[in-house]
Amino acid sequence: MNEELIDFPDAEQELFEHFRFVVDAGQEMLRIDKYLQHKIANASRTKIQSAADAGNILVNDKPIKSSYKVKPHDTIAILLPHPPRIHELLPENIPVNITYEDDEFIIVNKNPGMVVHPGFSNYTGTLVNAMLWHFEHLPKSSVENRPGLVHRLDKDTSGIMVVAKTEYALAHLAKQFFDRSNDRRYYALVWGDFETDEGTIEGHIGRSLRDRKVQDVFPEGDQGKHAVTHWKVVERFGYVTLVECKLETGRTHQIRVHMQHIGHPLFNDASYGGDYIRKGTTFTKYKQFVQHCFDACPRQALHAKSLGFVHPKTKSWIQFDSELPNDMQTVIEKWRHYSKFNASEE
C-alpha cells in the first residue's frame, strides 16, 4: 500500500483534526464517506457527511459531496472537529450566561474564572460540564444534545463564545475558525501609551524556552507558528490604554504575549508581567491607586467583546457583541477618573 497519512503542517487549533490521504493506485472506486470511515479512527459516517456538507472535505483541492467516489491517486484533505469525550464528563448545573440560542448553536458570555473544558487539575466546573447539563435538559424535540467547542478562551478571559449544537454546525463553524474567515474582537486594558492610534503585531508564537507554562514571540520565525494581531486605541488614560484587538490567527495567549512583546503587557496579567506597578512608582498615592485597581480586577483585563461568522444554516453573516464585565468596567472608570484629575499633578 502506498497511501500516506500526513498531519496538516498548520494545525492551528488543537480542537480540530487535520488529515490528508493520497489514495493507493489499486483502490477501487468507493464512496468517500465509506472510505474515510475506515481510514479515520472514531469518525462516524454521519460526522464525515456533515464535514462534506460544510465544505470541509477537499479532493484534489476541490470540495466534494459525501457521495463522491474516490479514485486512485486522489488527494483527500479533511478537517474534523475532535470527538468530545462525553463519557468522561458529568453534566453540572452551573450558571452560564447564554445570550443567544437557536437550533444550530449557543452564544455564551463566559465569566472570568471559568475553565472552558476539562483538563489537568480541572475535571469539573467547566463550561463543557455546564453545556452538558443544558443540553440534557433541552426539550425532547431538540436537535442533537452535545457540546461542540470550536474555540477557547483562557480561564481568566471573559467574553463571547459559540458552542455548536449539531454535527453540521460544528463542522461548518470549525471551518470558519480554521480558515480565519470569522471576526473576533477583544478589548484589552494594557500598560503604557501608544505613539499611534492603530497597528499590527506579527511574530511567531510558541512555547517559551525559559518557562514552558507560557508562550513567547520568535520574531525571526525560527520557532512557533505565524501569528498576527491588529490593534487600535479605544481610549487613552496616560498610564494605561484601552485597545481593541482583532485576531487574524488564533494562537494560545496570542493577545497577551503579543502585547508583552511590544512593551504593553495586559493590566494585571501575572503570566506576562502585567501584575506589577509600572510608571510613576515613586509616588505613594499612585501605588495605592494601582493596587486598588488590581484588587478590583484580579485577573488579566481581557474580554472577548464580539464575534461574527456566517450562520451555518441561513448562510447570512451574524454578529454578536457583549458589554464589558463589571470588573473591567470598574477599573476603566477608575483610570478615567484618575487620568482626568490626578495625572497632571504628578
Q: 343: how many CB neighbours lie within 10 A of its CB?
A: 14
Q: 323: how many CB neighbours lie within 10 A of its CB?
A: 10
Q: 33, 74, 154, 216: which is the annotated catalytic residue?
A: 154
Cα dihedral 123, 126, 127, 128 in deg (nearest 10): 10
Q: Which residue has the cell 487539575?
A: 121
The question of whether 154 is a catalytic residue gets the answer yes
CA pair distance 64, 159, nearest whole angstrom: 36
Q: 178: how many CB neighbours lie within 10 A of its CB?
A: 22
Distance of CA 320 to the CA centre of its chain: 15
Q: Which amino acid is at 138?
A: L
Q: Which residue has the cell 476539562?
A: 118
Q: Which amino acid is at 237?
A: F
Contact 278, 266 (CB under 8 A): no
**Residue 7: phi, psi to the nearest 5?**
-70, 140
**Angle 45-53/167-179 helices, nearest 10 degrees?**
50
CA pair distance 6, 251, nearest whole angstrom: 22
CA pair distance 286, 308, nearest whole angstrom: 39
Instruction: Report the SS3 class of residue 83.
Output: coil
CA pair distance 306, 321, nearest whole angstrom: 4
CA pair distance 275, 338, nearest whole angstrom: 19
User: What residues are annotated to the active site?
Assistant: 154
